[in-house]
């Protein structure tokens, strides 16, 4: 006989169990001695059950399968074998039809390898791997955002499953956080069965970083009904006190007089957080920017939304460096702005208010003011006369070093008078040389520091009166270049010097604490001013500018291809800059903001750029200089707009890093190319590099990989504002190429040319001097006639004009 027919089925299936039920198909003479063998195998080929049983009372007992895994597929193989009885089987065994079943879904296990990193004060990036035990089809993830100090602000974020592969990281960005606050993030996977096990990232709360407050379109508004001859009231909008980057811990009201041509006086310190006080601006004809009032909103639940200006009548009884809300001048135009702090060294300014004029004063008050001014002028002129003659004889030898002409003597005389005027003002109690106390300890944190080395400040900054000396009615204005400048050129635009004369040229420029450098840089200061930048001032583009006074000229700005019809869609803060090989060899750009990094990459793609020169760290001294616009780690990819950027390789050196990045379109990956980023990170937070060797080596490394060619696509150069360090590097690159072909060196001409294309290129006098220092070093180390330069260069290295001053430099730019 053959083995009897048996039917097997599976029922009562749960997440972790199932039941096997076996019965004879026929009740006719079942063989009670038959043996049923059941083998259960999981989806990975592992045997989870191998059991043999005999029927009892012609029925097989149910087999309970326990310990199964949720959402797993199992196969059941069974066979029945004849008993060893008096009957002989025609077939020894009969195989049953294979059964398959799947357990039900369950809640998933915890995610793996979660991590969190802050992108900025209001955003974090979370990464994790899917659970090792998904226990079902993962439908999405739930991230619980827990705010430690404000549980009511806690929320949940749902993230889709872009991949369920166990070896692929998932990532998401959580926005809407607040700088300086502490958060915890809990990531849980979800199936149809519900939420999985939680995993906290990190185990404790993470504190968000802080940055300078975000700049808004709101500006202080003047209550027109409050205007008097000496005071007025301002109104603030609550959006000015946005805590997105961190709580506003302090605010300062800044006041500036407006000149007849509608400008704010530039006679003020350009270093971060440096302004005058009301007492200190009394010595100026036109009051420069000064701090009128300081407030600490953190001490109240809501910030003050009204501020009276000019109401303090006791300022003259206070120290010079004390913040005081003194009276305004009558019949005078003013602008106002608010400086907001999230930390002592982290602040941002609103835009200036509209111009507001105070009312005219009464006649009696006007006469008193005029009498006081006349008396002050008499005293100053008297002291100048007493001090002039002794200094003239002591200074004669120094003046004869660089010129014997009457013009040179006149210029030296003006310089002496200017500096003596500053000394006299100091002796009269009008000097601003005060210590700049720490913001956390003193209320006068926004006061200027006048301790800068004299050579590193402009004539106007060093004396405060040079514009008056220029109005002297007799005597020539000193404009004659040194004899080392090649004759026959327009010295208002170009001042080339032969290589063999360059050491002598710089030595003479450096005498008298670098007076010639100061004079030459003053000529360059206003080059390019007056050109239009209408696109930058469109309402839709204002927020795209990192600094309100660094705006691209219309005639040379880089225009993006407009994808939409929105106003300003073609705008990016960048200009074409001439180089050694072509008129558009470089693009000088500001460091990208979080909101402009997509436009930055769009520009690089559309211009076909193969190199980017980065001259700033992303954060310096706690201030955001440049938003990171490249992937964090090797072989990772980030999409910016519709440009996919992959970091292929990163090579680190002592002072710089070189990254190889692959660029391609998201929707058309057939076209791609490699872009190299040269990232110089040794430029100090203030000043210039201690020695020119590093930046020269960096420039030569760049040129070894991107040789000069008129057919090259533009190279993007950026720092923070894209003018100071960027202009310095471009000038050095051009001059190094000039040296190689032994052409005359024209630093003045190169800076002049760059400033016609983008404002403030080579931002300060110290950077201008540093370019000379770099070329001297290059001549010394590169020239085949090196011996001709040794004595001259060594002498120059001892000149104090070349000693670094770490208090001046590219503080914001």
* Lowest mean pLDDT segment, chosen from 36-45, 405-414, 465-474, 506-515: 465-474
pLDDT of residue 456: 42
pLDDT of residue 408: 46
Domains 6-102 and 112-207 in one fold? yes
Strands (E), 130-169: 140-147, 155-160
> Which class for 190: exposed (0-12), middle (13-18), buried (19 or more C-beta within 10 A)?
buried
DSSP secondary structure letter of residue 656: E
The whole-number average pLDDT for the span 493-507 is 92
pLDDT of residue 603: 97
Read off the pLDDT of residues 270-320 as tens digits, 9 standing for 90 and up.
Answer: 445 578 899 989 988 889 999 999 988 654 556 678 899 999 999 988 888
pLDDT of residue 452: 35
Confidence of residue 468 (pLDDT cuts 50, 70, 90): very low
Place of tokens 């040194």: 482
Q: Domain spans of the chain?
A: 6-102, 112-207, 223-362, 364-479, 525-802
| Rounded Cα gap, residues 246 and 243, in angstroms | 5
CATH T-level fold of 6-102: Immunoglobulin-like (2.60.40)
The whole-number average pLDDT for the span 56-64 is 80
The whole-number average pLDDT for the span 423-438 is 42
pLDDT of residue 710: 82
pTM (two decimals): 0.47
pLDDT of residue 809: 38
> CATH assignment of 223-362?
2.60.40.10
pLDDT of residue 544: 94
pLDDT of residue 163: 60
DSSP secondary structure letter of residue 500: G
Is 7 or 49 the better-scoring residue by pLDDT?
49
DSSP secondary structure letter of residue 592: P
pLDDT of residue 166: 62
pLDDT of residue 78: 87
pLDDT at 708 over 80: yes
Most confident segment among 325-334, 371-380, 785-794: 325-334
Read off the pLDDT of residues 636-672 as tens digits, 9 standing for 90 and up.
Answer: 889 898 899 999 999 999 899 999 999 998 877 788 9
Which sequence positions are flagged as catalytic? 719
Confidence of residue 590 (pLDDT cuts 50, 70, 90): very high
Closest CA relative to residue 726, chosen from 757, 749, 691, 704: 757
pLDDT of residue 107: 92
CATH class of 112-207: mainly beta
CATH class of 525-802: alpha beta
pLDDT at 502 over 70: yes
pLDDT at 599 over 80: yes
pLDDT at 717 over 90: yes
Closest CA relative to residue 336, chosen from 351, 357, 315: 351
496: left (phi over 0), alpha (psi -120 to 50) or beta: beta
Most confident segment among 17-26, 136-145, 297-306: 136-145
Provide long-range contacts, Cβ within 8 A and 24+ apart, for 50-56: 55/24, 55/30
Confidence of residue 426 (pLDDT cuts 50, 70, 90): very low
pLDDT at 323 over 90: yes
Read off the pLDDT of residues 327-369 as tens digits, 9 standing for 90 and up.
Answer: 999 999 999 999 999 988 888 889 899 999 999 976 445 555 5
| Rounded Cα gap, residues 449 and 428, in angstroms | 19
Whole-number average pLDDT of the chain: 80
Both tokens of residue 398?
A: 């120094």
Both tokens of residue 122?
A: 């209001």
Confidence of residue 402 (pLDDT cuts 50, 70, 90): very low
Given a contact cutoff of 8 angstroms between Cβ atoms, the answer to whether 663 and 644 are in contact is yes
pLDDT at 541 over 60: yes
Q: Do you know the residue count of the chain?
A: 813
């Amino acid at each position: 006989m053959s083995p009897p027919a048996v039917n097997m089925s599976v029922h009562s299936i749960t997440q972790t169990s199932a039941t096997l039920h076996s019965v004879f198909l026929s009740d006719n003479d079942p063989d009670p001695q038959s043996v049923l063998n059941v083998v259960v195998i999981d989806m990975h080929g592992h045997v989870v059950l191998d059991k043999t049983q005999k029927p009892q009372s012609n029925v097989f007992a149910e087999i309970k399968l326990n310990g199964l895994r949720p959402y797993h597929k199992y196969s059941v193989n069974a066979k029945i074998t004849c008993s060893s009885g008096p009957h002989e089987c025609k077939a020894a065994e009969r195989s049953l039809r294979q059964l398959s079943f799947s357990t039900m879904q369950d809640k998933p296990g915890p995610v793996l390898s979660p991590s969190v990193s802050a992108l900025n004060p209001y955003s974090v990036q979370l990464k994790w791997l899917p659970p090792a035990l998904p226990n079902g089809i993962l439908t999405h993830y739930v991230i619980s955002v827990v705010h430690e100090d404000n549980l009511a602000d806690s929320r949940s974020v749902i993230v889709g499953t872009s991949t369920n592969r166990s070896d692929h990281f998932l990532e998401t960005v959580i926005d809407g956080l607040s700088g300086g606050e502490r958060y915890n993030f809990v990531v849980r996977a979800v199936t149809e069965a519900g939420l999985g096990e939680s995993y906290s990232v990190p185990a404790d709360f993470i504190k968000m970083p802080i940055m300078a407050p975000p700049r808004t379109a709101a500006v202080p508004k003047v209550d027109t009904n409050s205007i008097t001859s000496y005071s007025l009231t301002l109104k603030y909008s609550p959006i000015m006190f946005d805590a997105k980057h961190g709580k506003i811990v302090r605010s300062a009201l800044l006041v500036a007089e407006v000149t007849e041509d509608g400008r704010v006086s530039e006679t003020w310190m350009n270093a971060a957080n440096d302004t005058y006080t009301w007492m200190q601006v009394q010595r100026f004809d036109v009051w420069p920017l000064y701090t009128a009032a300081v407030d600490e909103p953190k001490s109240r639940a809501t910030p003050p939304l009204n501020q009276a200006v000019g109401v303090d009548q006791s300022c003259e009884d206070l120290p010079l460096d004390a913040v005081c809300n003194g009276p305004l001048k009558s019949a005078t135009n003013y602008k106002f702005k608010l400086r907001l702090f999230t930390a002592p060294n982290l602040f941002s300014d609103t835009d200036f208010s509209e111009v507001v004029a105070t009312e005219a004063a009464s006649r009696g008050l006007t006469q008193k003011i005029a009498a006081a001014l006349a008396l002050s002028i008499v005293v100053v002129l008297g002291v100048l006369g007493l001090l002039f003659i002794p200094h003239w004889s002591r200074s004669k030898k120094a003046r004869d070093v660089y010129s014997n002409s009457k013009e040179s003597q006149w210029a030296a005389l003006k310089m002496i008078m200017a500096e003596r005027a500053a000394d006299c003002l100091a002796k009269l109690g009008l000097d601003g040389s005060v210590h700049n106390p720490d913001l956390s300890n003193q209320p006068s944190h926004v006061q200027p520091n006048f301790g800068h080395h004299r050579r590193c400040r402009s004539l106007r900054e060093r004396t405060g009166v040079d514009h008056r000396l220029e109005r002297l009615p007799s005597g020539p204005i000193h404009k004659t270049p040194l004899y080392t400048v090649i004759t026959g050129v327009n010295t208002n635009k170009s001042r080339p010097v032969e290589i063999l004369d360059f050491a002598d040229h710089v030595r003479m420029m450096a005498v008298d604490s670098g007076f010639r450098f100061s004079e030459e840089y003053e000529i360059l200061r206003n080059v390019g001013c007056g050109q239009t930048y209408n696109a930058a001032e469109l309402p839709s583009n204002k927020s795209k500018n990192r600094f309100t006074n660094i705006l691209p000229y219309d005639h040379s700005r880089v225009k993006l291809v407009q994808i939409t019809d929105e106003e300003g869609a073609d705008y990016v803060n960048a200009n074409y800059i001439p180089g050694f090989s072509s008129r558009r060899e470089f693009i000088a750009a500001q460091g990208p903001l979080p909101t402009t990094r997509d436009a930055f990459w769009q520009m690089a793609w559309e211009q076909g750029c193969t190199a980017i020169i980065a001259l700033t760290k992303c954060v310096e001294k706690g201030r955001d200089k440049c938003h990171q616009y490249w992937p964090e780690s090797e072989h990772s990819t980030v999409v910016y707009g519709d440009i996919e950027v992959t970091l292929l390789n990163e090579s680190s050196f002592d002072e710089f890093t070189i990254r190889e990045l692959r660029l391609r379109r998201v929707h058309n990956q057939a076209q791609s190319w490699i872009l190299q980023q040269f990232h110089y990170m040794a430029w100090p937070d203030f000043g210039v590099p201690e020695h020119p060797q590093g930046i020269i080596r960096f420039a030569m490394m760049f040129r070894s990989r991107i040789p000069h060619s008129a057919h090259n696509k533009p190279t993007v150069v950026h720092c923070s504002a894209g003018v100071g360090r960027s202009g310095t590097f471009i000038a050095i690159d051009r001059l190094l190429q000039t040296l190689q072909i032994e052409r005359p060196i024209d630093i003045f001409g190169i800076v002049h040319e760059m400033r016609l294309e983008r404002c403030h290129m080579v931002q300060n006098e110290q950077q201008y001097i540093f370019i000379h220092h770099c070329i001297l070093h290059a001549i010394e180390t590169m020239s085949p006639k090196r011996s001709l330069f040794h004595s001259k260069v060594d002498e120059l290295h001892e000149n104090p004009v070349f000693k670094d001053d770490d208090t001046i430099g590219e503080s914001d730019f």
